[in-house]
Structure 1
C-alpha cells in the first residue's frame, strides 16, 4: 500500500467563532492510501485549542511511525492494519483517525461497497444540527432565523464567553426569534466555571428557553465539577473535550459527570475506537452523539457513515463541511438542509482533490 499526504486549506463561507477560537479556513491533512488501482481517504483536522495536533506533527506521524507500522502489509488484512495503527504511537489521535478511515475507505472501495454499507448499514441519510457562531444577541437571533429558513431544526449556540449574563441574553434572544419548535443546544467549550454554569443553566430553565443539552460547560479535566453541575440542573450535560478514549469515558461514567458523550473521530483515533465508545456509552445508559471538528467532506463523511451504522440517541453535530465555501475534494456527502446524503459510490465517494 502506498500512503500519500496532502495539506489542504479550505475557505469557510462565514467565520466560525467560538469561545476558544475564530476560524476562517478549515486546515487539514488528507491521507490517501492506494493499492495501485483505487485509493482510500482519511482526514486529520488541525484544531490547536482542542486536540493540540498540528498539521506538521500529524504529517510527520503518518509518514513516519504509522507508515512504518503498516510496513509491507497488504490491503486485505484490515483488522491487523488497524491494530498496528492504534499501537504504533501514543496519542496523535487525529493522525491515527486519518489512517484508520483511509484504510476503511480503501477496504470498502475494493469490495465495491459504500463505507456505510461496509460498516453494515443500508441507511443513506443522517441528520445534523448547525452551529451559530458566537456574537451579539441581535446577530445571533438573525442567524438563527436564517438557519431555520435553510432547513435546520436543531441549532447549536456557542456560549462560555466569560460573561454568563451575556450568554443568557444571547440564548433568550435566539429562542424568542426562532419560536418554540426548533431545538436549541448550547456548547460552552469549557468556558464556564462551576457556579456560573449552574447559574446560567438554571436561569435558562426558569425562563422557559427549552435547552436540549449543554455541551462541555467546564474545563475538560474537572470531572468532579462536571458531576456537580450535572447534579444541580435538569438540562442534560454532554461531555466532549473530557472524552478522547475509553479510559476517559469510563472516568466520566464513574464520576456521573455527564448524561451524554460526544464521540469524534479526530479525538478517539478513528472508526474502530469510535464504535467502542458508542457501544460503551449505550451499555452504561449514556446518550450519545457523533461530532466533527472543522473538517471537510472526508472527515464528516466518515462520521456520517459511522452514524448510519451505529445510530446515536439524538441528532448529531456534523455540519462542519456545510461551512466550506469550497470543498478540497470532489465527490462525497451532500447537504440538503439538516439532512446529509451519503454517497452511492464506493467508499466515501471521494474521487480526488479539487486542485
Structure 2
C-alpha cells in the first residue's frame, strides 16, 4: 500500500524586479518555505508557505518548524488518501495557516500527479465541476503605493506590459489618496479597469469620505478592498452601506467563522479568498462555495508568493471560477521563476503548466 514517506522543506528568497509597497509594508524579495511531500512510490507533491508578518503573522521559522514537526508527524506513514490527509493537516495544529497551505497544496499536487491530471483538472473533479478548466487565467496587476506622479508612470508602464486591470495600493494617506487615483485615471484613460486596496489603511469614516469623493469625481473604481482594519467588521459593514462602489473583505476573512460573521452583518459585497489566510486549497474551496451560496461576489488573491503558490491559486480559479478577475500577479514581480517547470506569465495571463499537477520538477 502506498504511504507518505517524506516531508522535506527548504527556504527560498526570490528577488523582485521592483519594490512592492503597501500601506502595511515594503519588500524587495519573496520569502517562502517550499515543501515536498513524497510518497513511497517516489511521487512528489509541491507546496509553499509564504512569510507575511503583517497579515498572517506566520514566519519562515515558524512555518518550517510546523512542517518539519507536527505536520510531518501527522502525514508520514499515512495513506495519501486526500480527504483523510488534508483533514489531518487542518487538525494537526492551531493557526499556522501558511504551513497548512503548503502541506495542503502539496497533497493536492501529489494526488493530481498520481492520476495524471493537471492541478486545475484535479480540483475541478474534486469540486464536482464537469467542464474542462482553461489552461490560463487572466489577472490584474498591482501598483505599489507611491506619489500621484509615480503611480501614473507605473500605471502607464503596466498597461504597456499588457495589463487591462490595475489595482492601486492606497490607504497610506487618506488626504492624498484621491489625488493618486485621479492621476492614474488620467494617465490610463477610461478603458482600463481600476481597483483600490487600502490594506486596512483607513477608518470607516475616512473610507466613506474618500470613496465618496472618488465617486463624485467619476473615477469609475471597480471595487475597494479592505478599507478598514481587519477586526472592524462592523466598520466594514458601515462602509459597505454608505458607498455605491462595491467593497471587498480581505484581511477580515481567514476562516469559515469569519465568513459567517461577514454574511451575518452583510459587511461586504465581495470576499477575497487567499490560500495563506485560510490554510490551503481545501478550505478555500469551502469558502468560495459558501460565499457563492449566500450571494457574495467571489475573488481569489495571493500574498507575495512565488510561482508555486500563485499557480495553485490560479488552478483553483480555473477549476471552479470566481465572479471577479483574480489578483494573481505576485510572482510577476519576481526577477524570474525559481522552479524548473510550472506556471509562467504572458502579459496579463498566468499560463498553467499542462503537465500533471503543478508541473514543477525541481528548484533551479
Same fold judged by TM-score > 0.5? yes
Conserved in 1, the CA contact under 8 Å of 2:7 and 2:76? no
2:349 aligned with 1:339 = yes
Q: 1:260 — aligned with what?
A: 270
**Counterpart mapping for 1:1-355 below 5 A:** 1=4, 2-35=6-39, 36-75=41-80, 77-120=81-124, 121-161=132-172, 163-354=173-364
Matched residue of 1:326: which SS?
coil
CA deviations on 1:21-68 (whole Å, 9 max, x unpaired) are 001000000011112422110011000000000010001111111111
CA deviations on 1:257-285 (whole Å, 9 max, x unpaired) are 10000000010011110000000110000
**In structure 2, how many angstroms separate the alpha carbons of the residues matched to 1:191 and 1:184?**
18
Conserved in 2, the CA contact under 8 Å of 1:45 and 1:295? yes
Conserved in 2, the CA contact under 8 Å of 1:129 and 1:153? yes
- 1:316: how far off? 0.2
Deviation >6 Å, runs of 4+: none
**In structure 2, how many angstroms separate the alpha carbons of the residues matched to 1:155 and 1:165?**
21
**In structure 2, how many angstroms separate the alpha carbons of the residues matched to 1:119 and 1:229?**
35
Unpaired runs of at least 5, structure 2: 125-131
Indicate the RMSD between aligned Cα atoms, in angstroms. 0.8
- 1:130: how far off? 0.2
Paired residues in the alignment total 352
| Greater mean alpha carbon deviation, residues 230-239 or residues 64-73 | 64-73
- 1:110: how far off? 1.2
**In structure 1, how many angstroms separate the alpha carbons of the residues matched to 2:297 and 2:79?**
38
TM-score after normalising by structure 2: 0.95
- 1:213: how far off? 0.3
Unpaired runs of at least 5, structure 1: none
- 1:74: how far off? 2.5
**In structure 2, how many angstroms separate the alpha carbons of the residues matched to 1:264 and 1:191?**
19
Matched residue of 1:100: which SS?
helix
Conserved in 2, the CA contact under 8 Å of 1:9 and 1:328? no
CA deviations on 1:117-155 (whole Å, 9 max, x unpaired) are 111243111110000000111110011011111110110
Conserved in 2, the CA contact under 8 Å of 1:114 and 1:343? yes
- 1:292: how far off? 0.4
CA deviations on 1:140-195 (whole Å, 9 max, x unpaired) are 0011011111110110000000x212111000000011000010000000000111
**In structure 2, how many angstroms separate the alpha carbons of the residues matched to 1:232 and 1:114?**
44
Matched residue of 2:107: which SS?
helix
Conserved in 2, the CA contact under 8 Å of 1:271 and 1:306? yes
Matched residue of 2:42: which SS?
coil
Matched residue of 1:113: which SS?
coil
